[in-house]
Amino acid sequence: MPDKGSFFIFVIHPKFLFMKKCLFIFLVTAFLSPAFGQGSQTSASIANNGKTWASIYQQRAAEYKALCFQAYNIARLRLDLALKKHHAKPYAVITDIDETLLDNSPYDAQRVLSNQEFDPKAWKDWTAKAICDTVPGAASFFKYAASKGVAVYYITNRDEDERPGTTKNLKLYNLPYTDEAHIILKTTTSSKEKRRRDVLKTHDVILLCGDNLPDFDALYDNKPTEESRKAATKKLKREFGNRYIVIPNVSYGDWENSLFNYNYKLTNAQKDSIIKAKINAND
């Protein structure tokens, strides 16, 4: 034991100081990384960063709500005008579900903040929860249509095994016509044309509501290019706001798929390269 007046001199090896410095730099870099705490080893891509902004726009922007209210206000005006006309068959409206009636932005936000690719199992886990909120103005419009004796058909590309969660979610908001005959899910094809025609056999369809252009017309089926989608839209321009009611969705859809030539196997890095090549960033 040394005396009270004794003291020690510690010599710190230079290699130890270097290791401490490296550890400090590593921890600071990791903490400041966008991926820190998000379950990912890489920073978010341009593609996923874009979806982050899309989700927060859908959740927080008053402009998004205004666009949805605008769409469903127009839908009500068109429905009221149609009701004044003679019709041989009963009236119906056809609607998509996801991002047209139900808001899935919490699922998208969770996925992109974790920098994860789309996963069908994770998607079905989400729809099974049956906790989606409704798109602004949607529930009110479809209830109004039903109150006027207009049938509502939900034509969606959710799979048959998603029926229980889908039905439960619609009933959560007391939406009309939430039975098996009116909730028409995907069977063998994602095209909705045959399902629309089946409704037309028994009803006059006043309106179609959707967020994705294949929700409206077969011209958008069969993986059309960006240019052919634009040409089809120009050809159908009189239908929008009259018979076709479009709800904004900047998060996903065939507009995105057409950018990548419907190649669903691309990595986010590959998508980023395509985005950089296609975006107009000229002065």
- Determine, yes or no, domain membership for 85: yes
Question: Exposed, middle or buried, 119 (CB in 10 Å: 0-12/13-18/19+)?
Answer: exposed
Look at residue 268 in the predicted model and tell me its pLDDT.
Answer: 85
Cβ–Cβ < 8 Å for 131, 242: no
- Determine, yes or no, domain membership for 13: no
pTM of the prediction?
0.84
- % of the chain exceeding 90 in pLDDT: 77
- Determine, yes or no, domain membership for 107: yes
- Determine, yes or no, domain membership for 256: yes
CA distance 46 to 256: 13
Span of 99-103, 128-132, 150-154, 265-269 with lowest mean pLDDT: 265-269
- Determine, yes or no, domain membership for 105: yes
- Determine, yes or no, domain membership for 51: yes
Taking each continuous run of H as one helix and of E as one strand, the counts in the chain are 11, 7
Kindly state the average pLDDT of the residues 210-237: 97
The confidence band for 239, taking pLDDT boundaries of 50, 70 and 90, is: very high
Look at residue 25 in the predicted model and tell me its pLDDT.
Answer: 37
Question: Which CATH number fits the domain that encloses residue 101?
Answer: 3.40.50.1000
**pLDDT surpassing 90 at residue 178:** yes
Look at residue 4 in the predicted model and tell me its pLDDT.
Answer: 42
Q: Among all chains, which residue has been given the structure tokens 């005959």?
A: 181
Q: Among all chains, which residue has been given the structure tokens 């904004």?
A: 248
- Digit-coded pLDDT (tens) for 26-47: 333 333 344 433 444 456 688 8
CA distance 210 to 137: 13
Q: Which residue range forms the structural domain that includes residue 103?
A: 44-277
Question: Both ends of the chain: CA-CA distance in Å?
Answer: 77
**pLDDT surpassing 90 at residue 139:** yes
The confidence band for 194, taking pLDDT boundaries of 50, 70 and 90, is: very high
- Determine, yes or no, domain membership for 252: yes
Virtual CA dihedral for 94, 56, 38, 159, nearest 10 degrees?
0
- Determine, yes or no, domain membership for 159: yes
Number of domains making up the chain: 1
